[in-house]
Structure 1
């Protein structure tokens, strides 16, 4: 996690400092062209880019101690305290006032752009402190259900079915299904139990009205 955050910080710092370089170069080009008027737009853009890059320059300098994460958190704390205690510039020079305003806007953006990284560090630290979950115990194998034994009436029905000649029929939807046997009586309810238990199979290749 820390390596990823360091990579992200390095990338963000490079982008901000690169933007500052481009804005300064544009301002220098405009100032060097004597045929063009020096505009406040280019000057303000360079000032804003410089203000945005300032916290990142400080971070790159502080990282030279070899503890980039510690330097990052320390810089955020220092800039937060400075931002809380600062007051707006009241200079008689409008440029100085604008420069001061852009400076603290740059600090705010730095704190906003890196807030999620602090949250990620705190979450990783909390996860590391939590005890590892105990290994899940394997559930005991399910005991096989005791096999059911047919009742005397069900056994008698099975014997009749085994002899053959048993049909199941229904002539109309209103009629109850009937079980026909050449050798004895098999009640429909008994047959349903036999079929549900898997003790008999039902041939449904013919419609019920044919049996």
Structure 2
């Protein structure tokens, strides 16, 4: 896809993670103000949300400096190296262990979300008016898979309705939606298998795994 479309899609994903981190922090601050509140789950939520947002923060900074294509390649390489660099040793601190696990989940989520996203080469910024005159306009080309109306509705529900993938009982998956229509389980599984959406594996199926669109899924809906 072209750099402009890629930047837009990546910015949407980053903004979503920033908002989730802000929501988690706000919830924790509210609980701290209430005497006797149970904080463990709220603290875990902050660790998970902050870790998930971290690679996106770095990516946005890289995009500002180097453009979307180079930024994505560099950040994916860093995320992969960081993930491979984690050992299996654990600390005596439960908080440290939780933070390390959250960081690993955040890196895996980032790699899954951006997997298969290819940004066109050769779109460089023009430094002089002469270069602008000489540069021929390049039509935007975005590789968007063909989808059926049912698949499009599933992607729209994932984007808009707060879809989660859960387990009602062992081996029996269910889909829940915070609002609007609830897509079928098989359709959600199908768009995940195609790489158009991803479920948050940092949560158990019993808790419910939020499902979000990947950059490809966003591109499909953007048309």
Instruction: Provide TM-score, normalisation by structure 1.
Output: 0.54
Larger Rg computed on CA atoms = 1
Tell me, yes or no, if structure 1 residue 7 matches structure 2 residue 8: yes
Question: How far off is 1:5 after superposition?
Answer: 1.1
Question: How far off is 1:73 after superposition?
Answer: 1.0
Equivalent residue of 1:60, what SS? Answer: helix
Instruction: Provide TM-score, normalisation by structure 2.
Output: 0.51
Question: How far off is 1:66 after superposition?
Answer: 4.2
Tell me, yes or no, if structure 1 residue 107 matches structure 2 residue 107: yes
| 2:25 corresponding residue in structure 1 | 24
**Aligned pairs for 1:125-204 within 5 A:** none
Q: Hey, what's the Cα distance between the residues in 1 that align with 2:110 and 2:8?
A: 16
Contact 1:89–1:97, Cα closer than 8 Å, also in 2? no
Higher strand content, 1 or 2: 2
**Aligned pairs for 1:58-97 within 5 A:** 58-97=58-97
Q: Hey, what's the Cα distance between the residues in 1 that align with 2:23 and 2:88?
A: 28
Instruction: Render the CA deviation track for 1:72-91: whole Å, top value 9, x for unaligned.
Output: 11111111122122213511
Q: 1:52 to 1:89 in 2, by over 3 A?
A: farther
Q: Hey, what's the Cα distance between the residues in 1 that align with 2:68 and 2:90?
A: 36
After superposing on structure 2, the runs of 4+ consecutive aligned residues of structure 1 that deviate more than 3 Å are: none
Q: Hey, what's the Cα distance between the residues in 2 that align with 1:89 and 1:99?
A: 14
Instruction: Render the CA deviation track for 1:29-82: whole Å, top value 9, x for unaligned.
Output: 001112x32321111111111111011011112222142221111111111122
Number of aligned residue pairs: give it: 121
Q: 1:89 to 1:55 in 2, by over 3 A?
A: farther
Q: Larger RCO: Structure 1 or Structure 2 (Cα < 8 Å, ≥ 6 residues apart)?
A: 2
Equivalent residue of 2:115, what SS? Answer: helix
Provide the aligned C-alpha RMSD in A.
Answer: 1.8
Q: Hey, what's the Cα distance between the residues in 1 that align with 2:89 and 2:59?
A: 25
